[in-house]
């Protein structure tokens, strides 16, 4: 008997809003799906586009990128810069045929614990429906570093 598919979701979150928000989810005892691996970075402005590609290469089926709402950045403008980067990168991914449905960008503030749970649940469910990201995994098998 084969195990049902459980997606691996990698979440790149900023230290000041979404990480604190996810913390609040925990302290509020809100239950959410455990498929997500949270990676904390100083700011969404710090999240290199290649980190997303690396996440897929190392076996993620879906990626969440989340930070402070516009105007709330701890470093004033990191999220604005990030937003521009994602606007371009998402177009490039789509042009190169990478599945953009597997990448979710969102703003989750430190007060939105419930929203974080909701986001993770939504993403996990939709990626579970999409199935494993075999295209990228097969690619990565040829290039194990």
Partner 1 sequence: MDLREKSRQLLENGDVKAVIGYERGTMGARRPAFIRKAERADRLVFDEACAQNLATYLTRPEVRKLGRVAVAARPDTLRAILQLMAERQVKEENVLALAGDGTVELGTAQAIEEHLATCAKELPARDREILDRLSRMDRAQRWAFWQAELSRCVKCYACRNSCPMCYCGHCTMDCNRPQWVPVASHALGNLEYHMVRAMHLAGRCVECGDCGRACPVGIPIHLLTFNCEESVHLQFGQRAGASSKLDYALSTFRPDDKESFIR
Contacts with partner 1 by CB under 8 A lie at: 49-50, 53, 57, 70-71, 77, 80-81, 83-92, 94-100, 104-107, 119, 135, 139-140, 142-143, 145
CB of 85 to partner 1, least distance (A): 6
Is the Cβ–Cβ distance between 63 and 104 less than 8 Å? yes
Joined tokens for residue 84: 């521009």
Nearer to partner 1, 74 or 81 (CB): 81
Judged by beta carbon, residue 35 or residue 104, the one nearer partner 1 is 104
Kindly tell me which of 20 and 120 has the beta carbon lying closer to partner 1. 120
Please say which residue, 27 or 142, places its beta carbon nearer to partner 1.
Answer: 142
Helix (H) or strand (E) holding 18: helix 18-27
Question: Least distance in Å: CB of 33 to partner 1?
Answer: 17
The least CB distance from residue 144 to partner 1, in Å, is 9
Contact 85, 91 (CB under 8 A): no
Q: Tell me if 62 sits within 8 A of 102, measured CB to CB.
A: yes
Determine contact, residues 64/104, Cβ cutoff 8 Å: yes
C-alpha–C-alpha distance, residues 24 and 120, integer Å: 14
Question: Closest approach of Cβ 22 to partner 1, in Å?
Answer: 15
Both tokens of 91, joined, read: 């177009």
């Amino acid at each position: 008997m084969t195990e049902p598919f459980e997606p691996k979701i990698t979440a790149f979150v900023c230290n000041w809003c979404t990480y604190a928000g996810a913390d609040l989810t925990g302290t509020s005892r809100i239950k959410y799906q455990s498929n997500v691996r949270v990676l904390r970075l100083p700011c969404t402005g710090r999240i290199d586009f290649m980190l997303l590609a690396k996440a897929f290469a190392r076996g993620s089926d879906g990626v969440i990128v989340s930070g402070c709402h516009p105007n709330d950045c701890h470093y004033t403008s990191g999220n604005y810069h990030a937003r521009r980067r994602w606007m371009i990168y998402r177009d490039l991914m789509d042009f190169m045929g990478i599945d953009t449905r597997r990448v979710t960008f969102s703003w989750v503030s430190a007060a939105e614990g419930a929203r974080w749970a909701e986001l993770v649940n939504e993403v996990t469910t939709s990626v579970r429906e999409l199935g494993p990201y075999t295209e990228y995994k097969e690619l990565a098998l040829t290039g194990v570093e």
